[in-house]
Structures are given as C-alpha cells and as structure tokens.
Amino acid sequence: MKPRRPYLLRALYEWIVDSGEIPNVLIDAEIDGVVVPEEHVRDGQIVLNISPQAVRNLNLGDDFVMCEGRFSGRSMELILPIISIRAIYCRDSGQGLAFDDEDMHAEDAEEVALQSAEVLSEDAGKGPDNNGPRPTLRLV
C-alpha cells in the first residue's frame, strides 16, 4: 500500500490555504536529501512557510516537496523528502497534523511486513498459549 503522508499533506495544505491561513511545515533537516538554508536550521529542524505568497513553483509530490523560497534576500530551491516533513499546521491557529513514523519508506515498510509475516507463519494455527488451535469467530 502506498504511504499516506503525501496525500494527507496535500489535503491539509489545500484546507489551510482555502481557510485563508498560512501553511507552515516542520522539517527534520537531518534527513538525507533535505535542501534548506543551513543557517536557519535550529536543533536539526526548520519551520517553513509554504503559502502561495511565500514560495514559487510549489510541487507537493509523492516523494518530495519542492519549491523556490527567499531567505535573507536570496532565492533558493528547497527540496524536502516527504519523510522529512514532521508536521503541517496553520501558523496563526496552530491547527494541523503532526506525522508519526508509521509512514516510513516503502522499503522499510516491506521489511517490517516480511518480518511480521515470518512471525505469523511460525505461530500459524496456534492459540494464545501457542499450544492449542487458534480460536475462530462464528456468525450466527
């Protein structure tokens, strides 16, 4: 299954902008592939205003968010891997969504799924005490 983070990000961005608010994103600047102005990073994080008035050529893709922004008078292309986006929220009201780590890279998710499948296959057919048959539900 595809990660849900890009879909939630796009939906919340649209909701915030349609509400007349300013969308901010919290970025984990220590993730590989993040391109932001290092002088504005604090404690490994940076908050960016991604409103239509603040950035140009915003692309909310499935793998990356890319746009052009201005920092201290100079233009810069920003590259934000989706996994680096920790939250999107309204600057004034604070309403929004913080992402947890359940939306990980597809490769990581596949590895976890394979590990889970191995554990389940070892316990297949066993009940809670791993001795008797597994209980089942019966429709009446």
DSSP one-letter string for 99-115: --TTS--HHHHHHHHHH
**Is residue 71's pLDDT more than 60?**
yes
**Three-state SS for 88?**
strand
Residue 132 lies in a domain: no
Residue 135 lies in a domain: no
Residue 140 lies in a domain: no
- Residue 107: pLDDT band with limits 50, 70, 90: very low
Residue 129 lies in a domain: no
Residue 80's CATH number: 2.30.30.220
Per the structure, the count of domains in the chain is 1
Number of H helices, E strands in the chain: 2, 7
| 2-27 per-position pLDDT tens digit | 899 999 999 999 999 999 999 999 99
> Which range among 19-33, 43-57, 65-79, 98-112 shows the weakest confidence by mean pLDDT?
98-112
Q: Which residue has the tokens 């891997």?
A: 81
Residue 38 lies in a domain: yes
Residue 131 lies in a domain: no
Residue 127 lies in a domain: no
Q: Taking residues 125-139, what's their average pLDDT?
A: 52
> Which range among 62-66, 70-74, 76-80 shows the weakest confidence by mean pLDDT?
70-74
Domain that holds residue 26: 5-122
The pLDDT assigned to 102 comes to 57
